[in-house]
Every structure is written in structure tokens, then in C-alpha cells.
Structure 1
Amino acid sequence: MTELLQFAILGLGAGSAYALLAHGVVLVYRGSGVVNFAQGAMAMVAAYVCLETFQREQGWSFLTSFVVAVLVVAGIGFLFHQLVLRWLATAAPIVRLAATLGLLVILQAGVQQFYGSKSTRVRSFLPNDVYHWGDIVVQQDRLILLGIAVATTVALWAATRFTRVGLAITAASENERATAALGWSPQRLAALTWTVGGGLAGAAGILVAPLTGLTPTAFVVIVTVSSLAAALLGGFRSFPLTLLGGLLLGVGESVVVLYQDDIRDLLGMQTLTGINRAVPFLVILVVLVVRGKGLPLRSHVTDRLPRLGTGRIVWPAAIVAVVVIGVVVGSGGDWLRSLTATFAAAVFLLSIVVLSGFAGQLSLAQYTVGGLGALVAARLIGQAGWPLIPAALVAIVGVILVGVLFALPALRTRGVNLAVVTLGLGFTIQEMVFNNPTFTGDKVQGAVRIDSVSLLGFDVSAAHHPERWALLCLFVLVACALMVANLRRSRTGRRLIAVRTNERAAASLGISVFAVKIYAFALAAGLAAAAGILLGLRNIAVTYFEFNVFASINAVVQAVSGGLGYVLGAVIGGLLAPGALLSRLFEGGATSGAVSTLIGGVVLIVILLTNQNGIADMLSRVGGAVERRFRRHRPRHSYVHDLQEVRDFDLDPVPPRGLALRDLTVRFGGVTAVDGVSLEVAPGQVVGLIGPNGAGKTTVIDAVTGFVAPERGQVLLGEVDVIEWSAARRSRAGMRRSFQSLELFEDIKVAENIHAGADDAPWWTWLTDLIRPGRHRFSATASAAVVDFELEDDLDAMPGELAYGRRRLVGIARAVAAGPSVVLLDEPAAGLDEVESRELADGIRMLADRRRAAVLLVEHDMDLVMSTCDRIVVLEGGRVIADGIPEEVAADERVRVAYLGTHDDSEMTGVTP
């Protein structure tokens, strides 16, 4: 017990510093809504400034050095907000997050360029006397650090709770518009929090440096992962919980070191490294899994991600690129080696295009995943003597399984939280696997020697035949690029994009969000493994220092700069990688890659400020303008050509399944939103569900379709109770819905929205779409939906280009494109003019009369309800107060009082059904 307490006390110092750093993260998030991934890099800058001015005998006192260093970093935070983030205030969160990653790589690469990669020992800035408490030694500097952390926590808590500025910051984190209406500028508040948050980062960096040492890469990653874990424990809002989280992390890391040998013996390993660094990741993982949700709530705001390419292959440009590459391959030498690195980096970035560009899942561990592929292949080739192809296949399949494990947290979280967990997982693998000789295969050098690489009987090793290895890398890049381009144009690609754009809407169309995320992570892991093999085996001795977390972060920077949604963007971003062609151009024979990394960070910031969609998007726009000029008299393919000619008698009635609710009850905390609702909708019948705002109508639809879990009750589809089914499974069984807020897939055309609602692809298309995506005509039911709602002229348009009324019709057509048995329409006439409302009424009656679908209609347009519905159910306060034919409901005095607030029935009896 004494030893345990001793190690726990040792961990208090690091835990206090983690808490200080995390307080800056929390403050910045509360003020600007941005999680600052550059907090660790800012702390590093302050530590080096203090090191230079105080420890290296510049004649400054520690207090002066401390204040100057803190002010420098506070200034960096202020300038970054004013020069970058204030212009990205309306950008998607992934764009603002990428901006902080750009700041991280700029600061890290700048320090590395000046100080190199060596570790610097920092002497303690605080008194280091000790006290004895029985057999336990208590260091004075640990107590001082704890006191500073506690005092800072109290000050921040009190400032944000009791001061006008603090209350304004808290209000801005909840609602920027309301705060602005009260006279506070959200941008000024954000600038203030970035300045103070930067100062906290500086103070924490100076105080933690003596405990960890200073290395431009390791220091940044260690403090970033730990501080983000502490901030996550505090929910990015609570300063006291963040302090507690930081202390628990510091103590946990220290205690794990105490029991490291026991853990090693338990696992049956000869060596075990970095186990203490796994503590933050495990904390992150547990918190996210416990707090996470399978699907976002109705209040979730859909974020627009960078624009997507079409996936269309431009063969002339590809031919020109191959010719240029052929010239470089023929030149040989160092340029050939840089070209090989460019090819490998481009394949890495293709994995990010699939995962983040197409599926919207942000990972900060792709290079680490690729390093696992290099490790397995190197050991099979270098030690077991396997040929390249079987070794690569085994490595890729193994890493795909790891990718599936990476996907599991994504099933419960998304966005920045997912970035945090993948960062922690990547760092854990780096520390526990790549630094462990048990896994790397060489206990002396930590590397595996590759004497030869056999491919179909030929030696293609980079050491002996660099031109052959370069051509192999080119072949793999082209093959992977074609697969990713095919994926973009395929049915599988539409599923990925649907999930990226709106998980709720995707699930409502029968798309399994879980399956899509697992597929995206698995495919991205396979691509990363291929890239890792290409990058790792280009050396005669395979080492793993280049597969670190920072390389993964830098890869995201390169992918966003090149164009996150474009295959071409991966190739452009690959040019910015360390050791690639631009690195050779700017750094010559240097191997650190610091200059190219620095340039990459600057390029990213410029790209985000000028065109958030990347360089490939700019080239695509220029190319499109040129193509339109020369193709003026050659009409391009239109999706109208994919429509089938469908007559009424060609459409079979849908499977006759009705909808029945039995005692459906939904509660949110102590509020009962739906209270014992029972109703039935028979096949071929339209039932209206009406009531005042807040009556629970949309909550009924959410509960019926699987987006809200009821407390009790039954939802019967035909004779089957589907209350335990997921939203996607209910949709596939024939239950579809529209959304009050539309929730269209804004990143793809109207035709692709309709296709997404009608696609019914077998499981093997997940694989075949990578090779042969094909072009599929609209199904008969989808064609009928397009024609019935007169959307033929809108198929080639993006949803955002349409008027609101047309957009709403697209949402309804998408919901009925697969010919569902039950259709739930949530205020479909909102925003429609009188003509469009009449057309909508005809369309609804056609669904019931000709297709025999059961339709539940939630609507405030009483003319539409009274003229369309066979029966009407009225809700008030979550309860049914009336149920009958339109004439009976219109005559019910309770309905007139509850719904119209009047005893005058003229508004409800003016129209007969």
C-alpha cells in the first residue's frame, strides 16, 4: 500500500499539468465551439521559449521567462483566432478542426526545424524539496503543481459562473444568436477564450516539461492525448470534472508503471512498453462508449462537409500523368525514391478519402494502421521468407480486422469525439507495439532486414531494383485510385455518402449505419495497410518511426489540402508528404521532412481560407468550365434517361401491411411526450395525426420508425411487433418516413437522393462495386415517384439549387421510392404553395388508392388534412383526445378548443373529405 501511495503521489504532478492544459481546451471549446488539437503544440512552444530564456543562461529570471512564454503562446492563440478561425465561423466542424491541425503541424515543424528531433532534459522550475509522511516521500513540486491546478480550476469555475463575461461565454456556447441579441459579440468572446486558453497551454507546457522532457514530436502527442482525455471526462464543459479527470489520468499512468511487470507476466510477454500511455486511451474509449448514442437525436444539426468529386475518370489527364511519372522513373536516384514515397503517401490519403471524404468518419490513426500492415508483411517476408503477394494479402486482411475494431467506437460516437478516440488508439499502438521488440521482431535494432522481395519470381526490392519498386507502387496507386473512384459512383458509395451527410435519414431508408461505418473503416484500413507495405518495404531495414501519430495527423492535413472528397485530392496531397516530391524540391537530401510539413500546414490554412474543398476542387471547377466550353453542343448524360416508362397497371400493389400502435408511451426524463397513444392505419387508408405544436406528433413518428425508444407499448407492422427493431430494419421491412426538417443528402444530386431511397443491393455489392460499379436505372416504383411528383426536370440538380417546395417533394419522393407498405409523412405540405399542395394531396391519395399503402399524415394544413384523410386522430399533450372521420372530428368541441383555441368550427368544416 505504501508503494501504491508513493506512485500515486508521483502522478499528481503530471495529472495537475494535464488538467491545466485541458482547462484551456475546455475554455476554448466553450467560447468558440472548436476543440483545439494544437493545445499540446502551443504548450511545447512555451516550454521551448522558457528553456531558451531561462535554463540556457540568457540572464532572465524564471518569473520573467514564464510570463514572456505564456504571453507568446496567448498571442499565438489570439492571432490564430483573428486571422483564421473568425473567417471559418460558418464552416463545417471538420474544417475548423483541420485548421487546428494545421496550426499543430506548423508549430511542431517549426520547432523541429530549429531544435531537431533530439530529446532535451529540462530541470525543474519549481522547488524540489521533499517531505516525509511516514515511509512516503512527498515532493514539494508535486504539491505546488496540485495547488496551481486547484486554484486555476476554482478561478475558471467562478469566472464563468459569476462574472458577466463568464456568463456570456457560457451563453455563447449554448446559443450564439441569443448571446449576440443581448449585445455580446460571439467572435470577441471566442478571441478572449483562445487567448486565455493559449496562456493556460503555455503555463501547463512549462510546468510539465521537467516531468516528460522535451521532444518536438513525443511531447506534443503525449500532452495532447492526455489533455483531450481529461477534457473529455469533463464533457468539454465542467472545470471541476476536468481537474478530476486530469488527476485520475496522471495517477493512473503512474500506478500502471508500478504494476507493469505484473501486467507483462499476466500477458505472457517478455517485454511490455508504453502500457502507461494506454491509460488515456482506455479512459477515452470507456467514456465515449458509455456516453455515446447509436444515432444522433432530432436536434442534431447536419454539418456540411467538403464537396465531393464525381468519381468520373478523366483518362487524358491520367495518361499525361503516367508519361510524366515515366520520365521521373527513368531518371532514377533520389528523385525516384521521393516519387516512391509520393505514391505510398497518396494511397494513405485514399484511405482518408474513403473514410472521411465519403463516409464522414474522422480518424487520426491511419499511418499507425498502415504501420501494422508494414510490420506483418516485413516479418513474413524478411523472417519467414514469404513472397510479396501472400505476405501482403495476410497483412492486409489482418489490418482490416484491426480496422473493424477501430470502427466499434464509431458506432457510438462521431465527429470530434471520434477523432479523439482514434488519436488515443493510434498513440497506444505506437507506444505498445512499434516500440516493443517482441512485436517488431528484432530485439537489438527494433527492425527487420529485407534482403529481397519476390513478386512472381522477380526480385522487386527497393534496395536492389528501385525502379521496379517504384513501378509496383505506381501500379498499386492506380489500382487503389480506380477502386475508390468506382466506389464513389456505385450504390455502395451512395450508402457511405448518405451516412456521411445524415445518419438519421440514411437509417430511415433502410441503410445500416453500423454496417456502413464498419465497411468504411475496414476498407480504409485495407488501403492504409497497402500503403504501409509500400512505404515500409522501400527500406532495407523496416523501422516504424514514420508510422507515428503525428504522421497520421499530418496526413489529414494533406488530405484536406488536396481535396478530401476527391480521388485526385489524394494524389495532390501526397506531394506534400515528408520525403515526397515537394519535400525533395524544398529540402534536398534532408530526412526530417520538417520543411515540407511546415509548408503543408501553411498550405492547409491558405486552402481553408480560400476554398475549403481543396486544390482538387479548384482544378475540377476549372476543368469543368473548359469542358463545358468545348462540349457546348454535346449534351452530357442526364439522369432523366434512367427513368423507366411505368404505367399504373405496371406497378404491383405493395405488400398489405397495416400499422397499429398499442399504448405507446415516450418519456424524456421527467417529461411525458407521448402518453398511451393507440391508433391504427389500414392498407389503402390515409390517417391524419393533428394537434397543436408540442402535442407529440413528431415524437410519435420518431418512436414508430425507431429513432426514439418508447418506455412501453407496441408498434405492429402487420402482425409483427417491431418495437425492438432498429430504424434501418423497420425501413427494410416496408416502413418509410419523411422528415419535418427535410434532411436531404445535400452533397449528391436529386437523382442520387432518389436512388438512395430505392437501392436494394445484395451484400456482395460491397465488394463488386469496387471493381464494376455499373450504372443502374431507376426502379419502377422510383420512376413512378419521380413522375408523380413531377421531378423529372430536377434530377440533375443539387438539392440546394431547388426552391423549398421542390426540396420537400424530393424528400417525399425519396421516402416512397422503394414502394413501402407504410408511409409516415411529417408535415409534408410545409412551405408548399396552393398548387403544390393540391399535387401533394393527389400523390398521397395515389399511394393509398392505387398502391394500397398505409399512410399516416402529420400536417397543420387543415384543407389538405380534411380533403385527403379517411380518418383523423387528434393529440393534445401527448394523449389522443379524438379519433374519427373528418366530419366527426371537425364537430368535436374538444378539438376546436385544443387545436384552434376557438369554439368557431368554420375553419374545420369548410372542407369535406
Structure 2
Amino acid sequence: MQSFLQFLIVGLGSGAVYAMFAQGAVLIYRGSGLVNFGQGAIGTLAAYVTFVDLQQDRGVPTVPALLAGIAVAVAVSLLFQWLVLRPLRSAAPIVRVIATVGLLGLVQAVVVQRYGATTVSVDEYLPHDVWIVGGVAIQEQRVWLVAISALLTGALWAWTRYTRTGLAISASAQNERAVQTLGWSPNRLAAVTWGLGGGIGGLAAVLVAPLTGLSPVGLTIVVTIAALAAALLGGFSSFPLTFVGGLVVGLGEALATRYNSDIERWLHQSQITGLNRAAGFLVILVVLVLRGRSLPLRSHVADRLPRLGSGVVNARGVLIGAAVTLALLFGVFGDSWAQATYVSLATGVMVLSIVVLTGYAGQLSLAQWALAGIGALAAGQLVRHGLPVELAIPLGVLITVAVGAVFALPALRTRGVNLAVVTLGLGFTVSEVVFANGDYLGDGLDGGTRIGPVTLFGLEVDAVNHPHRWAVVCLVAFVVIALVVANLRRSRTGRRLIAVRTNERAATSLGISVVGVKLYAFAVAAGIAAVGGILTAFQFSVIKYDRFDVFTSVSQVGFAVIGGLGYALGAVFAAPNAVGGLGSEALDALFGLGGWITIIGAALVILMLLANQHGIADVVVRHHRGRAAARRAETPVELAEAERVAPATLRVAGLTVRFGAVVAVADVGFEVHPGEIVGLIGPNGAGKTTIIDAVTGFVKPSAGTIHLDDAAVHRLGATRRARLGIRRSFQSLELFDDLPVEDNLRAGSEAGASRISWLTDLIWPVSRPLSPTALAAVRGFELEEHLRKLPGELPYGRRRHVGIARALASGPSILLLDEPAAGLDEAESRELASLIRELATERGMGILLVEHDMPMVMSTCDRIVCIEFGKVIATGTPDQVRGDPAVVAAYLGTAEPESESEPEVVDAGEGRAPAMSES
């Protein structure tokens, strides 16, 4: 028991420091809406300045040195906010997040270059007596750390809750414009939070340095992951919960250390390292996943991502590029340049995995290099046990694909920057628990896996003795995988990935499985990463796993941004930035700066984001994209006649939806028959959109049943319901802005494509014409001239039409339209009403219409259901509902009209008061 308490006390001290780092990150997030991945690196720099530059080299006393070190952290944070983030204010959120990843890489590289990679011990300066209480030794230093962290937490909580500046900082992250109208400058508020957040990180670093010593990589990465994990528990908003999160991480580390030997015996392992660093993070990971959602809320705003390439392969360019590379390899390059070539090509393969996962699918993962190491480990172990390399490599890739699917599980309930933090922690866990344990690695020297010289199909290709041959192997692998990635981009599967990247709710409404897409993206990206890891690891006869560290994973994302996150071609421009790659070789040959490639590469990430957020590939192909679009625009579209849909009746009975204690919908029932238009009307906040959400599976009802003909669908997910023939439009449009109109329609009609396409699209993507149903929608909404345009290039009315046409593309039996006329003028509304009537009359579609435009509702609908406060107050034909006193009261606030004229229904949502009569 005493030993247990002793470890708890140690864990509380470490957890308190993690909490301090996390509080700085939370403060920055509350002020700018941005997670700072560079928080730990800035703190590490402050600690080195304090204890090496000032105390050790110049003999500065402790207190002035501490203050100076913290001031350095404040200055670096302010400079980064002013020089980088301020110009990127309007950039996509992922771009700004990656800018902080670039900050992490840059500061980390500077610290390594300036101070070296060895650990530096630091003398204790806080009171460090040992108190014996009940036989338990309590270190006074740990008590001080907990007290300082608790006081800091209380001060930050009170400041942001009770002061005008603190409240303005929190409000600025939600709505900068609103804060500006109150006289606050968002730039100054962001500067305040970044300065204070950086200073808090510096304070935490100088406090923890005597406990851990100074290590550029260890202190930065361990603290960053622990602090971000603590901030996750606090939702990047609550200082008290973040403090608790830090303590949880610290206690987890301490208890894992305490019971490490018991775990080793239970698992029958002689030695397991790294569990202490992973335990606390894994606890918070479980909490985060349980707290997450499979689909984002209606209020969720999807992050914008950098532009996408077309995926069109320039065959001549590929052949010329490969021929030039081969000519240089065997006609010009010596061994060192051949080595640089295969290092760059292996890195290019890694970047392609990030293009698939982050560029195409929008899943920001910082664990790809760890998956590359898993691939190298799996293939290496198979070779060590006697399998030929030709068989071991594909098997190793398949094993990594399965592991990649496991890594995808958190992505099913988290997204955005939360997912980035989770994958960073998972990668760190693999590095600490797997790659640092000799029992898992084999009998190689220094904890490696011995594979011997590599031979492929009877030809010796090992990189040590035959660097040019290994470069050719890497070139072939790179070209093949680049073609696979390009194929994926322009395929049906690629459209599914991009749909999920752009808008998960809209993708689900079309029958696209968000779960399936995410699992697929992680699996394919993991397989590609495994190839990159094998190409890297098989360069030597003994695989060493220290290169598969978390920091390299972070760097790889930066390389992908430099090249072009949404382009397969981007890997060509990203690859030379690898340490030991062609960039290093060129810098060394020309300027003697090969050792500075890490700093230069990190700086390039930031400079590229400032110059062009879409990468070098986007700049190179921009004019080609314009010419190709012009050629495609000239291609005529052969339209088709409308087809009748499969008839089905929607029956809703006793539908009740609760959000906590609030009853949003209460015992609502109605039916929609084939060829019938049912209007659902009511004041704003009556629950109309919630009913659509419940019918389509986006909200789980508390009670009630939903049937499509005789089939109960209320227990099915939104994807299944869409595939059965229940489709919807969205009040807020929610188009796939990264795809042209034509591909928006394809996404609406291809969701039920054969599962074999998940594989065939990697090799031979087939471009099929739009379905007859989709073509009929094109004709009906007059979209012929707009098919090759992006939705953002269209006027608002046309974008409305695209949203409805996309929902129609598969020919659904039931169509639910959520305020389709919002924002349209009178003429456009009449035209839309005619089209909706045609869908019911000529195609036999059952339509539920939610709309505030009363003339449109009264002239279009066969029956009307009126709700107020989630309850049905009237139902019947337009004439019956028009004169119902309860309906009049719901809209006007009185059951008795002031004159004998027709009552009017005030449209609170659009600011109109259209007469409740047919026009």
C-alpha cells in the first residue's frame, strides 16, 4: 500500500506539470480556435535557454534566468501568431493547424541543431525536502508543482469567466465579427492568448526540467502528447477538467510504472517498456471516443481543406520523369546520390499515404510513420522466419492494412484536430511500446530485426552493396503507387472519400457509409505507408526502428503540405525534403548545409503555407487545370427522360424526440403516399427539421415508429434508410464544394455501387455516364451548362437546385425537402414549385415539403401538417388548414384575425409575410 501511495504522489507531480502545459494550449484554443502542436517545443526551447544558455554558460541566477526563459517562450509565440497565423486568418482550419505542426518541427530542429540530442541534467531549485507521513515519502517539490498548477488553473478559470477581456477572448473564438462590433480587435485578443499560452508553456517546462532533464526530442514529444491528451479531456475549453486530465495522465504513468512487472508476467513477456507513457493517454482516448459522435451535429461546420487535383494521369509526363530518373541514376549519380534518391522515393510513397488519408478523405492523422514501422516489422519478421522477400512484403502490407483499420476506430467518433491528437498519441504508443521492446523485434543487433541482404526475384538489390538497384526498386514502387493514388482520385470510390471529407452529413444522406469510407481510407493509407516503411527499413540487413518516431510522422505531414496535400503529384515535390534525401544532398553539395535540412524543411512548410496553402503541385498544374476544364465544358451532355420511381409509402407514428430534458418533437404522426406532396409547416423552432432528421436517421427518436411500406426503418442507420429510398435535402445546402456539380450528382447516384469497386477503382477506375435518373434531374433543373463548375461558382438559386437534384439522382421513393425555396425570389419559387409538383405527378415520388413560403405550400401540397412546439395542431387539405384557428394562432399569436380579409402567416425565418392564399 505504501508503495502504491508513493507512486501516486509521484504521478500527481508529473500530472500537475502536464496540466500546466495543457492550460496554455487550452487558453490559445479559447482565444483563436486553434490547437497549438508547438506548445511543447516552445517550452523546451525556453528550458534550454534558461538552464543552458543563461545558467550554465553565463552563470545567471535562477530567478532571472527563469523569467528570461519564459520571456523567450512568450516572444516566440507572439512572433508566430503575428508573422504566420495573422496572415492565415482566413485560411482553412487544417492549414492553420499544420502551421503549428510546422512550428513544432522548426523549433524542435533548431533546439537539436543548437544544443545537440543528448540529455542535459538540471539541478533542483524548488524546495525539495522529503516528508515522511505514515511511512510514505512525500517529496516537497511535487507538492509545490501541484499547488502551482492548481493556482494557475483557478486564476485562468476566474479570468476567462469574470473579466471583460477573458470573456471577449472566449467569444472571439466563436465569432470574430461579433466581437469586433463590440470594439475588440480579434488580432490583439489572439496575441494576448498566444503570448500568455506560450508563457505558461515556458513556465511548465522550466518547472519540470529538474525532474526529467533536458532532451530535445523526449521533452518535446512526451510533454506535447501528454498535455494535448489532458486538454482533450477538458474539451479544449474547461480549465478545471484540463487540470483533472493532466492528473489522470500523470497518475496513469505512475501506476503503469508501479505494475509494469505484473503486466509483464501476465503477458508472459520478459520486458515491456513504454507502458508508463501510454497508460494515461489510453484512458483519455477511451473517454474521448465514448464522448464522441458517429455523425457531427447539425450545427457542425466542416473544415475546409486545400484544393484537390483531378487525378488525371499524364502518361507522357510519367514516362519522361521515370526515364530521366533512370538516366541520372546510371549515367550521372554516384552512390551518395543514389542513396539520396531512394530515401526521397521512399518518403514520396509515405507522402502518398497522407494524400489519400488527409487530402482525399479529410482525416488528419499524425501516425502514418508508426504504421510504416508496423509494415517494416511485419515484413521483416516474415523474412527472418524464412519467407522469401517477394512474399513477405505483400503479406507485411496486408497486416498493416488490418492495423490501419484499427487505427481508424477513433476516427469513427472523432474528427478534425481531436483526431490528429488521438492519432499522434497512438503513434507515440506504438513507438514506445512496440518499437522499444526487443521481444517483439527479433534477434537483430541493438533491438533490430535481422533480414540479411535483400534479394528480389533472384537479383541482389540490397541498398548497401547495390544502392542504384535499390533506387530502381523504390522508383518502381513510387510510380505504381502514385498511379494507384491518381486512379483513386478520379474513381467512384474517390468521390465517396471526397464527399466524406467535405460533409459527412450530406454524404450519409446519399447512402454513402461514412464508417466504411473512413475504414477504407485508413486501411489503404496504412498499406501505402507500409510500402514506404519497408522501402526505408529494408535498406539495411538489420531493421532499426528508432527512425519510426512520432516526430517523423509530424514531419511527413509537413512534406505533404509542401508538395500539395490534395495531389498525387505533390509527392514528387515533397520527397526531396526528406532528411538524407535529394534536398539534403543538393544543399550539402552546393552550400555544405545538408545537416540543416530539418530546419529548412520545417521553415519551408510555414513559408509554403503563407505563399500558397495548396502546395507546389497546385501552382504547377493550375493553368493545365483551366485548359482541361475548358475542354470538358465543351463536351455535350446527352439528357434522358424522367423515369417513375419505385412506389413506397412513408408512415410515421408517435414520433418523439428529446434532447435532454427538452422535448423537441412530441407524438407526431403522418403519412406520405406515392405521388403525394405533404407540407410540414410551423413557426421557427417548431421541430420541422428535427422531424426530417429523425425520419432520415440523423437523430435518434425517444419513441415512435417509422415505416417504409411494411418495413420498419426506425432502427436502421441513416445510410441504410437512404439506400432504401428515403432521401433529403438540407436547409443549409451542404453541397460537396470540392467536387463539380456533375460529381455531386454522381455521388448521389453511385452510393450503392458494387463493393468490388473499392478494389477495382485502385487499378482501373471506370468513368460511367450519369444515370438516366440523374440526367433527368439535370434537365428538370436546367443544370446542363453548370455540370463542370464547382458549386461555389454558381448563383445561390442554382446551388439550391443542385442540392435537390443530388437528392433526386438515385430516384428515391420518398424525398424530404427542407426549405428548398429559402433565399429564392418569387419567380424562382414558382419555378421550383412546378418542378416539385412534376416529381410527384410524373415520377410518382412521395414528397414531404418543409417550407415557409405559404403561397408555394398552399399551391403545391396535397395535404398539410402544421406543428407548434413539436406537436401536431392541424392536418388536412390546404383549404382546411388555411382556416384552422389553431394554425392562425400559431403564426399570428391570435385566433381571431383583425379584419375579414384572408389571414396572413408571418414568415419569421425569412422576414416575409406572404398571404396564406393561393397565388
- Give the 3-state SS of the residue equivalent to 1:83 in structure 2: helix
Deviation at 1:251, TM superposition (A): 2.0
Q: Which has the higher mean CA deviation after the structures are superposed, 275-284 or 97-106?
A: 275-284
Give the one of 793, 801, 824 matched to 2:793.
801
- Give the 3-state SS of the residue equivalent to 2:569 in structure 1: helix
* Alpha-carbon distance in 2 for matches of 1:302, 1:428: 29
Give the one of 627, 641, 647 matched to 1:647.
641
1:265-344 to 2 correspondence within 5 Å? 265-330=265-330, 331-344=333-346
The answer to whether 1:778 aligns with 2:779 is no
Is the alpha carbon distance of 1:726 and 1:638 closer, same or farther for their aligned partners in structure 2, counting shifts above 3 Å?
Answer: same
Give the one of 736, 743, 747 matched to 2:738.
747
* Alpha-carbon distance in 1 for matches of 2:172, 2:283: 29
- Amino acid of the structure 1 residue aligned with 2:59: G
Is the alpha carbon distance of 1:53 and 1:708 closer, same or farther for their aligned partners in structure 2, counting shifts above 3 Å?
Answer: same
1:466-615 to 2 correspondence within 5 Å? 466-587=467-588, 595-615=596-616
1:332-731 to 2 correspondence within 5 Å? 332-381=334-383, 383-442=384-443, 444-587=445-588, 595-624=596-625, 636-638=631-633, 641=636, 643-648=637-642, 651=643, 653-731=644-722
Q: Which has the higher mean CA deviation after the structures are superposed, 368-377 or 833-842?
A: 833-842
* Alpha-carbon distance in 1 for matches of 2:137, 2:60: 32
Aligned match of 1:126: 126
CA contact (8 A) 2:632 2:788 kept: no
* Alpha-carbon distance in 2 for matches of 1:559, 1:700: 43
CA contact (8 A) 1:871 1:883 kept: yes
Is the alpha carbon distance of 1:444 and 1:454 closer, same or farther for their aligned partners in structure 2, counting shifts above 3 Å?
Answer: closer
* Alpha-carbon distance in 2 for matches of 1:142, 1:727: 51
CA contact (8 A) 1:644 1:779 kept: no
* Alpha-carbon distance in 2 for matches of 1:325, 1:220: 38
* Alpha-carbon distance in 2 for matches of 1:291, 1:765: 34
* Alpha-carbon distance in 2 for matches of 1:604, 1:483: 26
Deviation at 1:753, TM superposition (A): 0.2
After the TM superposition, list the runs of 4 or more consecutive aligned residues in structure 1 that deviate by more than 6 angstroms: 589-593
Deviation string, structure 1 residues 627-675 (Cα, Å, up to 9, x no partner) = 57xx9xxx6234964x444235xx2x22211111101111112222111
Deviation at 1:416, TM superposition (A): 0.5
Aligned match of 1:15: 15
CA contact (8 A) 1:40 1:223 kept: yes
Deviation at 1:217, TM superposition (A): 1.4
* Alpha-carbon distance in 2 for matches of 1:360, 1:804: 26
* Alpha-carbon distance in 1 for matches of 2:250, 2:589: 42
Give the one of 853, 869, 877 matched to 2:869.
877
Is the alpha carbon distance of 1:224 and 1:150 closer, same or farther for their aligned partners in structure 2, counting shifts above 3 Å?
Answer: same
Deviation string, structure 1 residues 740-781 (Cα, Å, up to 9, x no partner) = 000000001000001100113100000000111021101110
Q: Which has the higher mean CA deviation after the structures are superposed, 101-110 or 239-248?
A: 239-248
CA contact (8 A) 1:53 1:60 kept: no
Deviation string, structure 1 residues 73-107 (Cα, Å, up to 9, x no partner) = 10111111111112222222211110100110000
* Alpha-carbon distance in 2 for matches of 1:456, 1:368: 28
Deviation at 1:553, TM superposition (A): 0.2
* Alpha-carbon distance in 1 for matches of 2:308, 2:432: 35
The answer to whether 1:756 aligns with 2:756 is no
**Sequence identity percentage:** 53
* Alpha-carbon distance in 2 for matches of 1:105, 1:352: 17
- Amino acid of the structure 2 residue aligned with 1:246: G
The answer to whether 1:823 aligns with 2:823 is no
- Give the 3-state SS of the residue equivalent to 2:270 in structure 1: coil
Is the alpha carbon distance of 1:192 and 1:594 closer, same or farther for their aligned partners in structure 2, counting shifts above 3 Å?
Answer: farther
CA contact (8 A) 1:658 1:681 kept: yes
- Amino acid of the structure 2 residue aligned with 1:474: L
Deviation at 1:863, TM superposition (A): 1.6
Q: Which has the higher mean CA deviation after the structures are superposed, 543-552 or 277-286?
A: 277-286
Is the alpha carbon distance of 1:440 and 1:592 closer, same or farther for their aligned partners in structure 2, counting shifts above 3 Å?
Answer: farther
The answer to whether 1:905 aligns with 2:896 is no
- Give the 3-state SS of the residue equivalent to 1:545 in structure 2: coil
- Give the 3-state SS of the residue equivalent to 1:159 in structure 2: helix
* Alpha-carbon distance in 1 for matches of 2:509, 2:537: 43
Q: TM-score, normalised by structure 2?
A: 0.96
- Amino acid of the structure 2 residue aligned with 1:582: G
- Amino acid of the structure 1 residue aligned with 2:687: G
* Alpha-carbon distance in 1 for matches of 2:825, 2:251: 64
Is the alpha carbon distance of 1:624 and 1:753 closer, same or farther for their aligned partners in structure 2, counting shifts above 3 Å?
Answer: closer
Q: How many residues align?
A: 902
- Give the 3-state SS of the residue equivalent to 1:324 in structure 2: helix
Deviation at 1:704, TM superposition (A): 0.6
The answer to whether 1:894 aligns with 2:892 is no
The answer to whether 1:738 aligns with 2:740 is no
Q: RMSD value over aligned CA atoms?
A: 1.9
1:92-241 to 2 correspondence within 5 Å? 92-241=92-241
* Alpha-carbon distance in 1 for matches of 2:276, 2:590: 37
Q: Which has the higher mean CA deviation after the structures are superposed, 94-103 or 165-174?
A: 165-174
* Alpha-carbon distance in 1 for matches of 2:547, 2:594: 11
1:66-105 to 2 correspondence within 5 Å? 66-105=66-105
- Give the 3-state SS of the residue equivalent to 1:296 in structure 2: coil
Is the alpha carbon distance of 1:525 and 1:184 closer, same or farther for their aligned partners in structure 2, counting shifts above 3 Å?
Answer: same
Deviation at 1:206, TM superposition (A): 1.0
Deviation at 1:836, TM superposition (A): 2.5
CA contact (8 A) 1:579 1:591 kept: no
CA contact (8 A) 2:443 2:450 kept: no
Deviation at 1:358, TM superposition (A): 0.4
* Alpha-carbon distance in 2 for matches of 1:466, 1:594: 21
Q: Which has the higher mean CA deviation after the structures are superposed, 657-666 or 445-454?
A: 445-454
CA contact (8 A) 2:94 2:304 kept: no
Q: TM-score, normalised by structure 1?
A: 0.96
The answer to whether 1:858 aligns with 2:870 is no
- Give the 3-state SS of the residue equivalent to 1:102 in structure 2: helix
Deviation at 1:715, TM superposition (A): 1.2
- Amino acid of the structure 2 residue aligned with 1:709: K
Runs of 5+ unmatched residues, structure 2:
906-914
* Alpha-carbon distance in 1 for matches of 2:173, 2:607: 27
Is the alpha carbon distance of 1:137 and 1:57 closer, same or farther for their aligned partners in structure 2, counting shifts above 3 Å?
Answer: farther
Deviation at 1:587, TM superposition (A): 4.0
Deviation at 1:54, TM superposition (A): 4.6
Is the alpha carbon distance of 1:100 and 1:767 closer, same or farther for their aligned partners in structure 2, counting shifts above 3 Å?
Answer: same
- Amino acid of the structure 2 residue aligned with 1:459: E
